[in-house]
Amino acid sequence: MPIKWILHWQPNAGTTVNTQILSEVSQCAESINGVKEGRWKTILSFYRAMVREQGSANEFPRDFVGISLAEQPSKYFLVIRGQRVVVEAESNIQMIMEKLQSYKTRFVLTFEGNQYQLGDFQLRVGKVVPTHSESLRGIVMEMEYQPISSCEKSHQIMGEFFDLWQEALSKRSLQGHFVHLEPNFTEYGLPDQYTLQHTAVQYASITAQMISTAQTVQPNRN
């Protein structure tokens, strides 16, 4: 499976993400000869423990998420970031979780947008919105390099492409930039060869970072 970096938009201090930025990013992909190929969608659900004693939910993980990836809708991924656990399952694991009634989904985010082919690279630019809402919570980008599957071997070329992309984007004077913070895949027990589990871990990670950024900007929210 080709290596993929997932980036999220970090707004400048005192600013927030908006649809104009999303539009500029998409235009930038096209301006560097990215060929629009179609749409993509990934869905991330936050699970919350159902507890009998009020106020004891903190005994259980608060960073437990379930992810349905665009590439493989027949699969479902469960991640507990704090415990560095990722599990790949069939999509009906969602039904099993519902039947157990120990955890319920409390909030669902949709990542969706357009996909562009750029030589051996595939770019996906997407908005992050709560499901059934148009309230923009973030912008993400997927950067995939098709010839290489090794995380280690791809690092240089991915870094170089990322730098080119940042340079192209910087000409648009946007209030922010894309960030790539790669999780430590080894801590999750993942190999050097890239898999969908790596993608799931990246989505869990950038979601946590976006939430952290949002809480920094608006600490009294919640």
* Binding positions for other proteins, rule: CB under 8 A: 49-53, 56, 59-61, 64, 78, 80, 83, 85-90, 92-93, 95-96, 99-103, 189, 197
Residue 79 vs 158, nearer CB to other proteins: 79
Q: What span, in angstroms and rounded, lies between the C-alpha atoms of 114 and 148?
A: 23
Residue 12 vs 91, nearer CB to other proteins: 91
Q: What span, in angstroms and rounded, lies between the C-alpha atoms of 105 and 103?
A: 7
CB atoms within 10 A of CB 6: 24
Residue 61 vs 126, nearer CB to other proteins: 61
The tokens for 65 are 């998420």
Q: What span, in angstroms and rounded, lies between the C-alpha atoms of 166 and 174?
A: 11
Q: How far is CA 140 from the centre of its chain?
A: 6
Q: What span, in angstroms and rounded, lies between the C-alpha atoms of 36 and 30?
A: 7
Residue 55 vs 219, nearer CB to other proteins: 55
| Minimum separation from the CB atom of position 95 to other proteins (A) | 5
What's 9-37 look like in SS3?
EEECCCCCCCHHHHHHHHHHHHHCCCEEE
| Minimum separation from the CB atom of position 110 to other proteins (A) | 23
| Minimum separation from the CB atom of position 185 to other proteins (A) | 13
| Minimum separation from the CB atom of position 189 to other proteins (A) | 7
Range list of β-strands (E), 69-222:
75-80, 85-90, 103-118, 121-130, 138-145, 176-179
| Minimum separation from the CB atom of position 84 to other proteins (A) | 9
Given a contact cutoff of 8 angstroms between Cβ atoms, the answer to whether 205 and 4 are in contact is no
| Minimum separation from the CB atom of position 88 to other proteins (A) | 4
Residue 74 vs 220, nearer CB to other proteins: 74
Provide the 3-class DSSP secondary structure of residue 56. Answer: coil
Residue 38 vs 55, nearer CB to other proteins: 55
